[in-house]
Amino acid sequence: MTVKTEDENPTAAVMIIGDEILSGRTQDTNVNTIAKFLGALGVDLVEVRMVHDVEAQVVRTLNELRTSVDYVFTTGGIGPTHDDITADCVANAFGVGIDERQDALDILLARYGGDANLLNPNSRRMARIPDGASLIVNPVSGAPGFQLENVFVMAGVPRIMAGMLNDLPHRLRHGQQVQSRTVKATYVPESLAADILKSLDAQYPDLSLGSYPFGIYPEEFGTQLVIRGRNADDLDAAFAALLAGLPPIVAQARQRYPDARFEEVVG
């Protein structure tokens, strides 16, 4: 693990656990939700892994990630069924015990009006928490997630996962938020915008310049240009240079594709 200075942003990885994602049955949206959540806190998401509900793979992946980034966020596998193995995998990865815990059980019981008869053994599985973990509040459906050291274990259902994120900001070191400046749609091909992007990239090594083509020629087509970074002054300067450089590029594009519609929208 590399030593980082305090002014560097913390790093994070996401591990999506679930056969339903890898089989194509379910379109994941949790990565995007977590990515936006971390971006707002200045935590840099550096890697995502999606794995099967298989203990060896989950344990190996978790151990690789938790020793290489500051924070790991997992989703999936903490429900009441036989394939909900995430809590056991986390205990296994850390080499700690796991048992039913009263505070977690109380939360589940409260969902049933305190009637323990309504809580079957399968539901009680959701109160099994690795030793040393703290609970993560689930404001949506009760059954908690948990944090063990730098690993945050959350539900897979997107609405529940999003609810659990509300209990995380105070547990994380916040970094400097990455901001962006965007040219929403310039109707030029990516190849014509490449020179100015390359030149700005060289001039501002701490900024990240992205270009995202949309549409396919001869339909309406163009490129979205995005500058991202932490230094607002650099961002403003690079964005001004980009805007100043676009008109001749648009003119050049107009010459090449006389039938195409060109219109510059900045946002």
Q: Encode 132-145: b = buried (16+ Cβ within 10 Å), e = exposed.
A: ebebbebeeebbbb
Regarding 67 and contact with a copy of itself (CB under 8 A), the answer is no
Q: How many CA atoms lie less than 13 Å away from 98 in the CB half-sphere? A: 19
For the window 245-264, what string marks contact with a copy of itself as x by the rule CB under 8 A? Answer: -----------x--------
Residue among 157, 241, 243, 266 that touches a copy of itself (CB under 8 A) = 157
For a copy of itself, which is the closer residue by CB, 190 or 264? 190
Q: How many angstroms separate the Cα of 89 from the Cα of each of 82, 148, 153, 184? A: 13, 12, 11, 44
Q: How far apart are CA 141 and CA 78, in angstroms?
A: 13
Name 54's Cβ contacts closer than 8 Å, sequence gap at least 6.
none
Residue 210 CB, nearest approach to a copy of itself (Å): 6
Regarding 203 and contact with a copy of itself (CB under 8 A), the answer is no
For a copy of itself, which is the closer residue by CB, 148 or 224? 224
Token reading at 159: 């609405």
For the window 212-231, what string marks contact with a copy of itself as x by the rule CB under 8 A? Answer: xxx-xx--------x-x---
Residue among 85, 87, 105, 209 that touches a copy of itself (CB under 8 A) = 209
For a copy of itself, which is the closer residue by CB, 95 or 258? 258
